[in-house]
Amino acid sequence: MAEGSGFFDKVLQQDLGTVKSGLCVVCKGAHLLCGRSRCPLMIKFYAQQRTRPVIDLRDLAGSSPPAVFVGRYGYPKVDVGPLVPGEFGDTSIMDQPERWNGKSIDDIVDMRFRLVRGKQRIDAVNFRKSKLACDLQELALTEKPVAVEAYFRERPRGRLVLDDEVEPFGPSARLENMVKGNGRWERNLEKNYYDTDLRAADAVVAAYRNGTLISEIQKAFSVGTMGADKRRRFVPTRWSITAVDDIIGKDFLSHTKYYPTIDEFRIYHWEQLDNRWCILMLPTTWRYELIEAWYPETTWNPVGRDVEIMNDFELFGGRTDYAQIGGCYYAARMAVNELLEKEHRTAGAVVCREAHPGYVMPVGVWNVRENVRMALTQPPYKFDTVDGALGYIDSVMDLKRRTWIKHSGVLTDYFVQRRIEDYYGRHAAEIYDHERPGSVKH
């Protein structure tokens, strides 16, 4: 059963120092950096949800969007299974985050909670003798919703599953058997499935460039339908999301890094789910940064009084280590390069994100990818100087330029490499003389 609020208060009180330290902004419940066996902030979300049976019987029939989920605990022995709602019809929107812009967190949670997860353990590497694995591959490749009937060992119970990388979904139960209908496969994914000599990265890029949705590619990638035949394996959903964003982003970068630079400073502005976005583009060679500012009473900063800020960046040579921000870094990088490829231009890009108190629970990496994409479809504000661009950020973001500059590796490099006094005056020089703080007062 879900823990009560009293249990949560006790756990959170025991770990209050960790929560206040800002470590949660880095961890986001994924790595358990605090040393606890369960994330205290996740316990909070679960404590606020009712645990109840979703259906009265041990079988559930409905139209899967189609959707599948591959777990990561115990890899390579992992739980896999379909996501099935108890309704028929066009349910495709339930698993296409590309169509969720404009929806509230309540809308998304209500929609995703209706998806029940069936679970059965398989070997992610040696999966070919598993009938369920083959059925899930066919399901993930199918173009439109498919009728699925799932038979469980017990009635599905549980809670909304929350994760900063993966979209939410509803309760789960151990799967005895699954029967699915037939449907037409998405043509690009079908081609990749039968090409057993094509590298997985090349298959991802080919499908994307031929118009397949990223969310569809991620599903197909996760159930081992791409790559050289003997190297195919099931990939945890969480890992597949970041892998696909990274693969597409790197493919773009192999071209965009060498295009001519843009001719002006640009700002793209967007707001959604109480997140504010300002994307600053500089007329320079490629460099990129994501800066996240988490306000008090948000998902990963629930009890602090300071705004917790973290960043990751790369210069022209790229990076060799995994970004501490996680999948959001690669999702935003992919979106930025999507625009640069369209324009056949290169630029420096600093993505500034403010997460305000209305962002009360994690809904997945799609939130970053799709909102950066939406921001970049807006007409940009253009400026002749970086000072003009930063002035616009001052006008629409709560945090001002001084704070963004202090926490930015790209802007630090930009000003220092070009004689800071020439481009920003004595005020900027004074900023860099101060010690870089871990947080800024709210």
**Closest by alpha carbon to 106, among 168, 154, 166?**
168
Q: Examine the pLDDT at 253 and tell me if it is beyond 80.
A: yes
The residue type of 377 is T
Q: Examine the pLDDT at 322 and tell me if it is beyond 90.
A: yes
Instruction: Return d(Cα 220, Cα 192) in angstroms, integer.
Output: 10
Amino acid 113: pLDDT: 85
Q: Examine the pLDDT at 76 and tell me if it is beyond 70.
A: yes
User: Does an H or E element contain 288, and which?
Assistant: strand 287-294
pLDDT, average across residues 89-104: 95
83-97, 297-311, 312-326: the lowest-pLDDT one: 297-311
pLDDT, average across residues 289-302: 88
**Positions of E strands within 153-209:** 172-180
Q: Examine the pLDDT at 44 and tell me if it is beyond 60.
A: no
Amino acid 297: pLDDT: 82
* pLDDT tens, residue by residue, 157-173: 776 666 667 788 888 89
Look over the chain and give the mean of its residue pLDDT values, rounded to a whole number. 86
More confident site: 385 or 5: 385
Amino acid 23: pLDDT: 64
Instruction: Return d(Cα 210, Cα 217) in angstroms, integer.
Output: 11
pLDDT, average across residues 70-98: 95
140-149, 164-173, 179-188, 403-412: the lowest-pLDDT one: 164-173
Instruction: Return d(Cα 363, Cα 375) in angstroms, integer.
Output: 18
Amino acid 31: pLDDT: 59
* All domains in the chain, ordered by first residue: 5-47 (no CATH), 59-180 (2.40.50), 187-250 (no CATH), 265-441 (no CATH)
Measured between alpha carbons, how far is residue 401 from residues 52, 158, 386, 412, 430 in Å?
48, 45, 11, 12, 13
User: Strand order of the sheet with strand 439-441?
Assistant: 381-383, 265-272, 275-282, 348-355, 287-294, 306-314, 439-441
**77-84 and 265-272 strand pairing:** unpaired
pLDDT interval class at 262 (50, 70, 90): very high
pLDDT interval class at 106 (50, 70, 90): confident
CA torsion 9-10-11-17 (nearest 10°) is 90
CA torsion 297-375-94-96 (nearest 10°) is -140
88-97, 214-223, 355-364, 419-428: the lowest-pLDDT one: 419-428
Read off φ and ψ for residue 2, nearest 5 degrees. Answer: -70, 145
Residues whose CB falls within 8 Å of the CB of residue 77, separated by 6 or more in sequence, listed in order:
121, 122, 123, 124
Q: What percent of the chain has pLDDT over 70?
A: 80
SS3 assignment for 201-237: HHHHHHHHHCCCCHHHHHHHHHECCCCCHHHCCECCH
Q: Examine the pLDDT at 246 and tell me if it is beyond 70.
A: yes
Residues whose CB falls within 8 Å of the CB of residue 147, separated by 6 or more in sequence, listed in order:
61, 62, 63, 64, 88, 180, 181
Q: Examine the pLDDT at 295 and tell me if it is beyond 70.
A: yes
**306-314 and 287-294 strand pairing:** antiparallel
More confident site: 416 or 148: 148
83: number of Cβ within 10 Å: 27
Instruction: Return d(Cα 288, Cα 246) in angstroms, integer.
Output: 14
* pLDDT tens, residue by residue, 365-417: 999 999 999 999 999 999 999 999 999 999 999 999 999 999 999 999 998 87
User: Does an H or E element contain 267, and which?
Assistant: strand 265-272
Q: Examine the pLDDT at 300 and tell me if it is beyond 50.
A: yes
Tell the burial category of 187 from Cβ atoms under 10 Å away from its Cβ (0-12, 13-18, 19+): middle
Amino acid 328: pLDDT: 95
The token duo for 89 is 């019809």
